[in-house]
Structure 1
Amino acid sequence: MDDNPSNHPPPKRVVVCGGGIIGVCTAYFLAKKGAVVTLVERSSIAGGASGKAGAFIALHMCDGGPLSSLARASFNLHCSLAKELDGSQSYGYCPLTTLTISVGESELPSKSPILPLWVDGQVKTGEIIGTPETTALVHPQLFTRTLLGKAVAEYGVEVVTAKVESVAVEEDGVVVKVDGGGIIGGDAVVLALGPWTSKLPEISSKFRVHGKKVHSVVLEHKHGDAITPHAVFATYYPAQGTGPIDPDFFPRPPRDVYICGPSVQVEIPDGPESVFPDLESIQMLRRVAGMVSSYLVEDNVRVKSEEAGLMPCTDDELPIMGEVPGMKRCYVASGHGYWGILFGPASGVAMAELVLDGHATIVDLDCFSPARFVGN
Structure 2
Amino acid sequence: MRVVICGGGVIGACIAWFLRRRGIDVIVVERTEVAAAASGKAGGFLARDWCAGTPLDALARRSFALHAELASEIAGDWGYRPMSAYSGFVAPDGDARRNLLPTLAWLAKGVVIAQRIGTRETTAIVHPRKFTSAVMDAVLAQGGQLHHGRVTAIVRDADGVTARGVEVDGNVVEADAVVIAMGPWSLLAAQWMSLPAVYGQRSPSIVYDTGTDVPADALFLEYEDDGSAVSIEVFPRADGSTHITALSDIAPLPLDPASVTPDQDAIARLQAMSERLSPLFSSANIIARQACFRPVTQDGLPLIGKVPESNGLYVATGHNVWGILNAPATGEALAQLIADGAAQIDLSPFDPARLSPLDPSLLHGR
Q: TM-score, normalised by structure 2?
A: 0.92
Q: Which residue of 2 aligns with 1:121?
A: 109
Deviation at 1:85, TM superposition (A): 3.1
Q: Which residue of 2 aligns with 1:44?
A: 33
Deviation at 1:124, TM superposition (A): 2.3
Q: Secondary structure at the match of 2:346?
A: coil
Deviation at 1:205, TM superposition (A): 5.3
Q: Which residue of 2 aligns with 1:25?
A: 14
Q: Which residue of 2 aligns with 1:356?
A: 339
Q: Secondary structure at the match of 1:71?
A: helix
Please give the alpha-carbon distance, in whole angstroms, between the structure 2 residues aligned to 1:61 and 1:333.
21
Please give the alpha-carbon distance, in whole angstroms, between the structure 2 residues aligned to 1:99 and 1:354.
37
Please give the alpha-carbon distance, in whole angstroms, between the structure 2 residues aligned to 1:276 and 1:375.
29
Please give the alpha-carbon distance, in whole angstroms, between the structure 1 residues aligned to 2:357 and 2:74.
44
Please give the alpha-carbon distance, in whole angstroms, between the structure 1 residues aligned to 2:53 and 2:4.
35
Please give the alpha-carbon distance, in whole angstroms, between the structure 2 residues aligned to 1:93 and 1:109.
36
1:331 to 303, 314, 336: 314
Q: Secondary structure at the match of 1:333?
A: strand
For the 8 Å contact 2:189–2:195, the answer to whether it is kept is no
For the 8 Å contact 2:337–2:343, the answer to whether it is kept is yes
Query: Is the counterpart of residue 285 in structure 1 residue 275 in structure 2?
Result: no
Pair 103,34 (structure 1): closer, same or farther in 2 beyond 3 Å: same
Q: Which residue of 1 aligns with 2:352?
A: 370
Query: Is the counterpart of residue 315 in structure 1 residue 298 in structure 2?
Result: yes
Please give the alpha-carbon distance, in whole angstroms, between the structure 1 residues aligned to 2:239 and 2:180.
35
Q: Which residue of 1 aligns with 2:2?
A: 13
Q: Which residue of 2 aligns with 1:151?
A: 139
Q: Secondary structure at the match of 1:54?
A: coil
Query: Is the counterpart of residue 175 in structure 1 residue 158 in structure 2?
Result: no
Deviation at 1:204, TM superposition (A): 6.7
Question: Following TM superposition, where does structure 1 have runs of at least 4 consecutive aligned residues deviating by more than 4 angstroms?
Answer: none
Amino acid at match of 1:38: I
Amino acid at match of 1:207: P
Give the alignment's Cα RMSD to 1 decimal. 1.7
Deviation at 1:201, TM superposition (A): 4.6
Amino acid at match of 1:296: F
Deviations 1:306-334 (A, max 9, x none): 00101001000000011111111000001
Pair 375,39 (structure 1): closer, same or farther in 2 beyond 3 Å: closer
Deviation at 1:174, TM superposition (A): 1.5
Q: Secondary structure at the match of 1:262?
A: coil
For the 8 Å contact 1:99–1:233, the answer to whether it is kept is yes
Q: Which residue of 2 aligns with 1:9?
A: none
Please give the alpha-carbon distance, in whole angstroms, between the structure 2 residues aligned to 1:374 and 1:265.
21
Query: Is the counterpart of residue 297 in structure 1 residue 302 in structure 2?
Result: no
| Structural mapping, 1:187-226, within 5 Å | 187-203=176-192, 206-221=195-210, 224-226=211-213
Pair 375,52 (structure 1): closer, same or farther in 2 beyond 3 Å: closer
Please give the alpha-carbon distance, in whole angstroms, between the structure 2 residues aligned to 1:227 and 1:375.
46
| Structural mapping, 1:75-94, within 5 Å | 75-85=64-74, 90-94=77-81
Query: Is the counterpart of residue 53 in structure 1 residue 42 in structure 2?
Result: yes
Please give the alpha-carbon distance, in whole angstroms, between the structure 2 residues aligned to 1:86 and 1:133.
23
For the 8 Å contact 2:234–2:242, the answer to whether it is kept is yes
Q: Secondary structure at the match of 1:245?
A: strand
Deviations 1:90-133 (A, max 9, x none): 11112111001111332515325xx3221233222221000111
Q: Secondary structure at the match of 2:28?
A: strand
| Structural mapping, 1:225-264, within 5 Å | 225-238=212-225, 240-241=226-227, 243-264=228-249
Deviation at 1:302, TM superposition (A): 1.9
The percent of aligned pairs where both chains have the same amino acid is: 38
Q: Which residue of 1 aligns with 2:118?
A: 130
Amino acid at match of 1:262: L
Q: Which residue of 2 aligns with 1:101?
A: 88
Deviations 1:171-209 (A, max 9, x none): 675120112x11101000010011111212545753101
Q: Secondary structure at the match of 1:15?
A: strand
Question: What is the aligned length?
Answer: 352
Pair 83,375 (structure 1): closer, same or farther in 2 beyond 3 Å: closer
Please give the alpha-carbon distance, in whole angstroms, between the structure 2 residues aligned to 1:332 and 1:83.
28
Amino acid at match of 2:100: S
Please give the alpha-carbon distance, in whole angstroms, between the structure 2 residues aligned to 1:109 and 1:60.
34
Q: Which residue of 2 aligns with 1:6?
A: none
Pair 16,192 (structure 1): closer, same or farther in 2 beyond 3 Å: same
Q: Secondary structure at the match of 2:248?
A: strand
Deviations 1:124-183 (A, max 9, x none): 222100011110110000000001111111x2110000011111332675120112x111
Deviation at 1:375, TM superposition (A): 7.2
Pair 329,109 (structure 1): closer, same or farther in 2 beyond 3 Å: farther
| Structural mapping, 1:255-274, within 5 Å | 255-274=240-259
Please give the alpha-carbon distance, in whole angstroms, between the structure 2 residues aligned to 1:204 and 1:265.
25
Please give the alpha-carbon distance, in whole angstroms, between the structure 2 residues aligned to 1:121 and 1:296.
14
Q: Secondary structure at the match of 2:335?
A: helix
Q: Which residue of 2 aligns with 1:3?
A: none
Deviations 1:249-291 (A, max 9, x none): 0112343111011321222211111111011111111111111
Please give the alpha-carbon distance, in whole angstroms, between the structure 1 residues aligned to 2:71 and 2:202.
29
